[in-house]
Amino acid sequence: MRKIVECVPNFSEGNDRETIDAIAQAITETPGCTLLDVDPGKSTNRTVYTFVGDPDAVVQGALNSARVARARIDMRTHKGEHPRMGAMDVCPFIPVANVSMDECVAISKTFGRLAAEALGVPFFLYEASAVHDYRRKLPQVRQGEYEGLAGRLEEPEWAPDFGPAAFVPQWGATATGARSFLIAYNVNILGTSNQAHRIALNLREAGRGPDVPGRLKAVKGMGWFVDEYNMAQVTVNLNDYQVTPIHTLFEEVKKEAAALNVGVAGSEIVGLVPLASILMAADYYMEKENLFILDEDQKVRLAVERLGLNSVAPFDPKEKIIEYRVAETPDEPLAAMRLRDFVQEVASRSSAPGGGSVSALLVAMGAGLGAMVGKLTYGVRKFESVDAQMRKCIPPLHDAAARLIPMIDADTTAFKDFMAALRLPRGTDAERTARAEQMQAGLKKAIDIPLTTMKLGDGAWDALCDVARYGNPASRSDVEVGARTLETGIWGAYKNVMINMTDITDDEFRTRIVGEAEAIVKRAAQKCADVLEILESR
């Protein structure tokens, strides 16, 4: 799955449109980067850019933007209301999808090192990337701002993490690091700014001061009145939505508002939001209300409705959810084919797609048939007595079928990688060694793909047994076909694992994988028999 990292560099220029646009262009022209937002502030004399990309792309995008700033921004003439210490004042990297905080720490360190070398300026690490606790928070690093930076750099404990320990007047210094995704979130209050602020004080982590902390961690907030909406708002920054999710903040505001006898009229998200945070809200309301929803778009709709995200402005998921903004058409030429074309492609004079892709398709279809029967049983009046069982067995079958579709193309891609290694030159000892290493890597990948197909199929058996036990008896033949197809697909994937194992030179790898694959294929035969026996006994 695609890794998505967000980068939010802040530059000390909010008035010169040419400079603002030049920095934006540098990001936009970086391959793999998608610029999502440019937010200049005249009084702060500062512009915040938001862009996303894969780990390598965001490093390059940040470097390209920093180079423009180095050429166009001169801190010696900069004035603004916002605290600052450098031309590129801060450059955080934030995990969005399929990437860990540790990876973002490594990304920030790579960027800091490369930028300091290229520009000849000091860089400090902060937040999760910080090496020293006394300079972990941004206010600590930026204390004294640009005007106090020259003296600070003379102190040994304030030597930069990258670049020279010397004052560069035109630039100043930059803080870079990794942090959690910050969600700017407002809850609408049908009351006064004072009431909204009282709620914020009770909830925000800082509370009313050191002696009276608030209830929610990783939350900053206050109350204000928005004339445009004719409503007050509890306005917060959720510094880590994994610690305090959106729905938790919303529900706690509702409790506080009820205690003050004031109404809550929905909420709004300022800027962009990760899909995971919206799905967390959906999961919360599904559990709270005992709802059964499978489709992602319906889960998103549930969260939007329960949080009242359309209350002051339309919430368009395609525009507000980061993953949807940067979504790309999956590179799945086989899975995207018409069925007729796929069969003809398999039947063509070519070794790929072959047994591995067909096996992945069979496993997906086996799980899919089980999901189909479960869905044809759930919600039907005469089968209401087994709704609870269907709620448990439909999701794993539904998810397995969806996750197996990409494996159809992945198997063919892995085979092509191995064939490419075969064509590498082998004229010298070094070339022969490199070729052998690439061939072994290609073989291991060609083994891992069908093994993953086997594992995904293996995870569907218990649910398929329950469908056989409780599902609509009119669909008995569909479950039988599903069981046989699932078993055959797993057997086919097993054969692909074993045929690629022949030339593996890593004995430990061979022993471990063969043992795992044999256990799964043996269990598939037994589970298929169990499904058929269950159906026969009904």
Q: How many Å apart are CA 435 and CA 437, to the nearest integer?
A: 5
Active site residue 411: yes
Both structure tokens of 358: 């067909």
Q: How many Å apart are CA 88 and CA 455, to the nearest integer?
A: 47
What's the Cα-to-Cα distance from 535 to each of 286, 319, 370, rounded to whole Å? 32, 48, 13
CA 114 from chain centre, in angstroms, equals 26
41: which strand partners?
46
Contact 161/112 with Cβ under 8 angstroms?
Answer: yes
Both structure tokens of 98: 């399929």
Q: How many Å apart are CA 191 and CA 196, to the nearest integer?
A: 7
Q: How many Å apart are CA 36 and CA 56, to the nearest integer?
A: 18
Amino acid at 376: L
Q: How many Å apart are CA 126 and CA 349, to the nearest integer?
A: 57
- Among the listed residues 82, 240, 417, 448, the single catalytic one is 82
Q: How many Å apart are CA 375 and CA 355, to the nearest integer?
A: 30
264: which strand partners?
189
Both structure tokens of 359: 């096996």
- Among the listed residues 89, 411, 458, 466, the single catalytic one is 411
β-strand pairing of 123-127 with 88-97: unpaired
Residue 187, phi then psi, degrees to nearest 5: -110, 130
**Number of H helices and number of E strands within the chain?**
18, 11
Q: How many Å apart are CA 181 and CA 183, to the nearest integer?
A: 6
Beta-carbon contacts of residue 291 (< 8 Å; ≥ 6 apart): 285, 302
Q: Which H or E run includes 41?
A: strand 34-41
Q: How many Å apart are CA 48 and CA 196, to the nearest integer?
A: 28
Contact 202/215 with Cβ under 8 angstroms?
Answer: yes
Q: How many Å apart are CA 108 and CA 59, to the nearest integer?
A: 8
Active site residue 82: yes
What is the biggest distance separating any 2 CA atoms in the chain, rounded to whole angstroms? 85
Picking from 200, 218, 138, 134, the residue whose alpha carbon sits closest to that of residue 174 is 138
Which residues are known to be catalytic?
82, 411
